[in-house]
């Protein structure tokens, strides 16, 4: 049985004894090791959306439902994160700043995430995310800070140049995915 309040309490306990993402990864890994229980606890995904499960200055917990074949542009978080997949798939491309070209980024690596995977992302990570399958993907995202309050960057998908993170545009991407899904 996955209980949201119990999970939040476990995350708070992990953070209290370890400010890094090490213990948090174990908490998230334990949760997504029973994906059917998480599906039951959070509910079967029905639409692309970001559900805020918990939000504090030092910890944010989200239930992120990616739309079919949905991609979000490269962005940073300015805090560590742990991503745990309980339904579907998520592909991450990792980027780094180019030393020769101020602000632009280049691809540095990739990681496929499948059901049951719990991936830690470092404080300075820049990533873009794709749901590569034609159905919804469900993931628990835990961030070691105030995900909505942090000053962050995103990089234009075409020019790969840096700009200020636009939260409203990011949320619109989920509604566009829903519109595509309905069409
Ligand atoms: Fe992200």
20 Cβ neighbours under 8 A, 6+ residues apart: 80, 144
User: Once rounded to an integer, what is the mean pLDDT over residues 16-27?
Assistant: 96
104-154 pLDDT tens trace: 999 999 999 999 999 999 999 999 999 999 999 999 999 999 999 999 999
22-62 pLDDT tens trace: 999 999 999 999 999 999 999 999 999 999 999 999 999 99
CA 112 – ligand 1 centroid, Å: 14
User: Once rounded to an integer, what is the mean pLDDT over residues 80-102?
Assistant: 94
pTM: 0.95
Helix (H) / strand (E) containing 127: strand 126-130
**pLDDT at residue 101 is higher than 90:** no
- Nearest CA to 157 out of 138, 171, 170 is that of 170
Would you give the DSSP letter of residue 53? E
CA angle 140, 146, 149 (to 5 degrees): 120
What is the distance between the alpha carbons of residues 5 and 119, in angstroms, rounded to a whole number? 22
CA 128 – ligand 1 centroid, Å: 7
CA 22 – ligand 1 centroid, Å: 18
CA 74 – ligand 1 centroid, Å: 8
């Amino acid at each position: 049985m996955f209980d949201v309040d119990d999970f939040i309490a476990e995350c708070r306990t992990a953070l209290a004894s370890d400010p890094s993402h090490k213990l948090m990864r174990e908490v998230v890994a334990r949760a997504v090791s029973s994906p059917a229980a998480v599906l039951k606890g959070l509910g079967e995904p029905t639409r692309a959306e970001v559900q805020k499960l918990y939000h504090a200055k030092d910890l944010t917990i989200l239930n992120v439902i990616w739309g079919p074949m949905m991609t979000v542009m490269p962005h940073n978080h300015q805090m560590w994160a742990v991503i745990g997949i309980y339904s579907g798939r998520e592909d991450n491309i990792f980027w780094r700043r180019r030393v020769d070209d101020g602000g632009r980024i280049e691809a540095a690596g990739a990681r496929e995430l499948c059901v049951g995977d719990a991936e830690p992302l470092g404080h300075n990570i820049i990533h873009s995310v794709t749901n590569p399958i034609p159905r919804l993907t469900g993931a628990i995202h835990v961030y070691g800070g105030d995900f909505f309050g942090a000053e962050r960057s995103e990089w234009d998908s075409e020019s790969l140049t840096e700009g200020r993170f636009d939260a409203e545009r990011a949320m619109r991407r989920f509604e566009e995915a829903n519109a595509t899904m309905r069409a």
